[in-house]
Amino acid sequence: MNGPVFRDRRDAGRRLSAALDDYRDRDPLVIGLPRGGVVVAAEVAGSLGADLDILVVRKLGAPGQPELGLGAIAEGGVLLLNKPLMRQVKVTRDQLQATIDAENEELKRRMDAYRGERLPVEVADRLVILVDDGLATGGTVRAAAGALQHLGASELVLAVPVGSPSTVEQLRPLFDSIICLEAPPTFFAIGQFYEDFSQTTDDEVIELLAGE
């Protein structure tokens, strides 16, 4: 692979939609992971004529190394910790607690900002297509899968434009199906596959959920 594959998240969503066409007649619920995943998910939901909602998930970064994900939290009180990695980098649960508390506050803030008074779409007994803009370590997706299973999804599909091959394989047991358009062996970061990978804002997420 030479150079970016996708122009931006909307382009990625349109291409991902084509690979999900078999789900069109099954009344799927498309769930986007804020922020960037919601842009991709909105394209998918629009193409499939599906309901769109979000699931707020926050990565738990290592103290002093916020990009190193040691776990994640999600709506519904889901907490997942990567204990082998925590042991490897010598971080205890107590040392991570300040991060957990801070991310719980941010999770609540985003839920209030994105949803306002709007209730979440019912997940129970639905085919759910979970969408993000890419897969790196997969920590947030693991937490999201746990939350959606807890909420009673009858079938769970993960759909991403691009992902680390090893992460895709590690996540397979959590999903009924995984659709990943690109899983190149030379994977360093999600942004390398996009011409435009600028940060999605809260306002953009709110507008997409409002159908604007």
What's 24's domain CATH number? 3.40.50.2020
Domain annotation covers residue 29: yes
Together in a domain, 106 and 205: no
- Give residue 3's pLDDT: 66
Total domains, the chain: 2
Last residue of one domain, picked from the residues 99, 114, 129: 114
What pLDDT, in 10s, does the model give residues 113-124?
998 888 889 999
CATH number at residue 89: 3.30.1310
Q: What average pLDDT does the chain have?
A: 93
Together in a domain, 159 and 197: yes
Query: 16, 45 in Cβ contact below 8 A?
Result: no
Last residue of one domain, picked from the residues 114, 136, 151: 114
**Domain hosting residue 84, numbered range:** 59-114
What pLDDT, in 10s, does the model give residues 136-148?
988 889 889 988 9
Q: Strands of 127-131's sheet, edge to edge?
A: 51-54, 29-32, 127-131, 155-162, 177-182
What pLDDT, in 10s, does the model give residues 13-38?
999 999 999 999 999 999 999 999 99
What pLDDT, in 10s, does the model give residues 83-112?
999 999 999 999 999 999 999 999 999 999
Domain annotation covers residue 200: yes
- Give residue 109's pLDDT: 92
Among residues 128, 138, 142, 198, the alpha carbon closest in space to that of 162 is found at 138
Judge whether residue 2 has pLDDT over 60.
no
Domain annotation covers residue 2: no
CA distance 176 to 128: 10
pTM, rounded to two decimals = 0.88
